[in-house]
């Protein structure tokens, strides 16, 4: 019984790991300034073949359409 349970858990972990490498979609988060104000950041990630493109917006300052020169995901690290 333990062997079956461990095998199922390992399979689920492998599937979750494979799926979690896809960044496509909208991501957002907050940062706090030293004077305790919240700044909202929004990122749109799109995958074109093997390459990623991204666009950033900062709604707190009414800024959008910021495009980094490159966007890559290597070994689980977003660059």
Q: How many domains does the chain have?
A: 1
List the one residue out of 15, 25, 33, 19 whose CA is nearest residue 52: 25
Q: Tell me: the pLDDT tens digits for 20-54?
A: 567 788 888 888 888 988 889 899 988 888 788 89
Asked if 4 contacts 23 with a C-beta cutoff of 8 angstroms, the reply is: no
Q: Tell me: the pLDDT tens digits for 57-78?
A: 989 889 899 988 888 877 777 7
Domain assignment of residue 28, yes or no: yes
Domain assignment of residue 36, yes or no: yes
Domain assignment of residue 44, yes or no: yes
């Amino acid at each position: 019984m333990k062997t079956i349970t461990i095998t199922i858990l390992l399979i689920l972990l492998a599937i979750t790991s494979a799926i979690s490498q896809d960044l496509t979609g909208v991501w957002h988060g907050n940062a706090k300034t030293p004077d305790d104000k919240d700044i909202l950041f929004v990122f749109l990630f799109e995958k074109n073949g093997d390459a990623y493109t991204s666009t950033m917006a900062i709604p707190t300052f009414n800024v959008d359409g910021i495009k980094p020169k490159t966007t890559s995901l290597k070994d689980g690290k977003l660059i």
